[in-house]
């Protein structure tokens, strides 16, 4: 299920919003968790078990890191090995096999692996949560339902933004619901939907038409390149807008994820503007720690 599908727009989202707003405050996170697991089940029914497993292991490792300070680095390392190991298996197994065959001239058969939806995003979120607990920048979450809600939250599950635990830690406990915030969320969602359906999808069709052309020209390559470039941007930013809008509808405030990247004056500036949550995640959890060593 995707945000632009009729099933999501006319069935799933209205039902979830209705149940969420009639539910008492203490059950709102449970409604979000249940709906997120149902949303994930529609896309990857088998891998709901994998998500639940990841949530449970993250919860346990968080408690261990917080309780046993002396061995916290060991538990953090083990948690990262488990999370990254699962991600590598599903995303890069055949890539690794291909390179082994290339280097060693073997003939290892490829493994049929279906990539679970959103596995990169919720893996990054789990790692950032555990690292922040290890650093003392976040309090360990002892309520597994709240942690599960954070990890599985369906608005940002497919294409981000990567929401850090410290960003919505307080919002998991207390968040405001107002008509103004809800209306702003609807407006942002509609803008994102327009980017995805009216611009990205149309540009994608245009690019496919050019690919099917049997008589390419210089103009052909220019139009194809521009179409692909704009399609990628409007597709990603459209999903981010929809995620931010959905977050507002449920009382959350997610950080911005794109800042007009195509007006960047350098590669570095582009990196800062494009998929901000991803680039800042790599900066704070990989680049800076490695630079300190």
- HEC states along 179-206? HHHHHHHHHHHHHHHHHHHHHHHHHHHH
Question: Is residue 258 a part of any domain in this protein?
Answer: no
Print the domain residue range for 42: 1-174
When pLDDT is averaged across residues 188-217 and rounded to a whole number, the result is 86
Question: Is residue 133 a part of any domain in this protein?
Answer: yes
pLDDT, residue 246, reads: 94
pLDDT, residue 197, reads: 93
pLDDT, residue 283, reads: 86
When pLDDT is averaged across residues 229-236 and rounded to a whole number, the result is 92
Closest CA to 80 of 66, 68, 65, 69: 65
Residues 152, 40: contact at Cβ < 8 Å? yes
Question: Is residue 125 a part of any domain in this protein?
Answer: yes
When pLDDT is averaged across residues 18-24 and rounded to a whole number, the result is 94
What burial class does residue 214 get, using C-beta atoms within 10 Å of its C-beta: 0-12 exposed, 13-18 middle, 19+ buried? exposed
When pLDDT is averaged across residues 143-158 and rounded to a whole number, the result is 90
Q: Which of 122-126, 151-155, 164-168, 217-221 has the lowest mean pLDDT?
A: 217-221
Q: Which of 31-40, 64-73, 104-113, 250-259 has the lowest mean pLDDT?
A: 104-113
Q: Which of 128-132, 202-206, 213-217, 284-288 has the lowest mean pLDDT?
A: 213-217
pLDDT, residue 193, reads: 94
Contact partners, residue 177, CB within 8 Å, separation at least 6: 21, 251
Residues 264, 270: contact at Cβ < 8 Å? yes
Decide if pLDDT at 291 tops 80: no
Decide if pLDDT at 1 tops 80: no
Question: Is residue 239 a part of any domain in this protein?
Answer: no
When pLDDT is averaged across residues 200-227 and rounded to a whole number, the result is 82
Mean pLDDT of the chain: 88
When pLDDT is averaged across residues 226-233 and rounded to a whole number, the result is 91
Give CA–CA dist 160/117, Å, rounded: 12
Structurally, how many domains does the chain consist of?
1
Question: Is residue 274 a part of any domain in this protein?
Answer: no
Question: Is residue 271 a part of any domain in this protein?
Answer: no
Q: Which pTM does this prediction carry? A: 0.88
Phi/psi of residue 256, each to 5°? Answer: -65, 150
Percent of the chain with pLDDT over 70: 99
Question: Is residue 198 a part of any domain in this protein?
Answer: no
C-alpha distance from residue 200 to each of 4, 107, 196, 220, 245 (Å): 12, 40, 5, 19, 18
pLDDT class for 293, splitting at 50, 70, 90?
low
Question: Is residue 4 a part of any domain in this protein?
Answer: yes
């Amino acid at each position: 299920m995707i945000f632009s599908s009729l099933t999501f727009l006319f069935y799933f989202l209205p039902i979830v919003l209705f149940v969420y707003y009639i539910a008492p405050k203490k059950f709102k996170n449970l409604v979000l968790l249940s709906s997120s697991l149902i949303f994930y089940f529609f896309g990857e029914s088998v891998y709901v078990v994998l998500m639940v497993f990841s949530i449970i292991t993250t919860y346990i490792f968080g408690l261990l890191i917080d309780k046993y300070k002396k061995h916290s680095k060991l538990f953090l390392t083990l948690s990262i090995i488990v999370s990254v190991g699962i991600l590598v298996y599903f995303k890069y197994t055949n890539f690794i096999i291909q390179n082994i065959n290339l280097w060693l001239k073997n003939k290892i058969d490829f493994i049929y692996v279906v990539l679970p939806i959103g596995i990169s995003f919720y893996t990054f979120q789990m790692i950032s949560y555990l690292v922040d607990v290890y650093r003392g920048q976040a309090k360990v979450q002892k309520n597994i339902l709240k942690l599960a809600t954070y990890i599985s939250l369906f608005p940002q599950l497919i294409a981000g933004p990567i929401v850090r635990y410290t960003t919505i830690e307080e919002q998991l406990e207390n968040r405001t619901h107002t008509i103004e915030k809800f209306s702003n969320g609807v407006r942002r969602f509609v803008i994102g939907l327009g980017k995805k359906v009216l611009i990205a999808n149309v540009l994608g069709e245009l690019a496919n038409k050019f690919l099917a052309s049997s008589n390419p020209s210089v103009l052909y390559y220019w139009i194809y390149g521009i179409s692909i470039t704009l399609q990628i941007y409007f597709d990603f930013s459209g999903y981010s807008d929809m995620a931010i809008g959905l977050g507002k509808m449920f009382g959350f405030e997610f950080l911005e994820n794109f800042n007009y990247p195509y007006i960047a004056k350098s590669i570095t500036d582009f990196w800062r503007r494009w998929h901000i949550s991803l680039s800042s995640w790599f900066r704070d959890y990989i680049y800076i720690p490695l630079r300190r060593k």
